[in-house]
Chain A
Amino acid sequence: RKEVEQDPGPFNVPEGATVAFNCTYSNSASQSFFWYRQDCRKEPKLLMSVYSSGNEDGRFTAQLNRASQYISLLIRDSKLSDSATYLCVVGNFNKFYFGSGTKLNVKP
């Protein structure tokens, strides 16, 4: 079983839509959680950390559910520029596991 699993998508949504991704992880001892964004043929870049109480950054909201071992990312009012692959990252001190990513296409 993979450490981190994501729906590869693609999610095709119109501008202005709300879209949500989930990511499940297998190690219940995981302590650190992140969402990274990767544009086509570019390096991954941090989108946001995920905190136990949930956290929001503008149009982006991240949630953690330890009991069910998943994290989620909600994007509101999606923009064309949100089109990318979103990588879920789970782990502990220096041992991090990346999901294979969920591809989002925002259409005009």
Chain B
Amino acid sequence: DAGVIQSPRHEVTEMGQEVTLRCKPISGHDYLFWYRQTMMRGLELLIYFNNNVPIDDSGMPEDRFSAKMPNASFSTLKIQPSEPRDSAVYFCASSLGQGNLDYGYTFGSGTRLTVV
């Protein structure tokens, strides 16, 4: 089991550029979550999907952020245009079934985004 795979591991981009973060969930998991972690705000849920359908995007900060899940094995989080305050670590997580935060819930290694 390869776990949740995120790419890239690190991304440095200039303000105003488009950034795309990618996530491959664990095969068979039907829930996928995108989180953002900063020193100031901690770990925040941005959006989650069930069976590829977005269920709750109330955590998405603004229209510059969008997320898609075109199939069960791939999701993207896009920021356009990026701003320095978007600098954070973005985690993807997946789970099976009800999506409780227990042993069936796995985080990826994260993408460290720096916007300069």
Contact = CB atoms under 8 A, between A and B. Distances in A.
Interface string B84-114: 0000000100000011111101011110100
Given A98-B43, A99-B42, A34 B101 contact: yes
B103 A93 contact: no
B34 interface: no
Interface residues of B, number: 23
Interface of A: 32, 34, 41-46, 49, 87, 89, 91, 93-101
Q: Which of A41, A46, A97 has the most CB of B within 10 A?
A: A46
Contacts, number: 47
B42 A95 contact: no
A101 B43 CA distance: 9
Given A87-B43, A89-B101, A94-B99, 14 more contacts: A42-B109, A43-B109, A44-B91, A44-B107, A46-B101, A46-B102, A91-B101, A93-B99, A94-B48, A94-B56, A94-B98, A95-B56, A98-B35, A101-B42
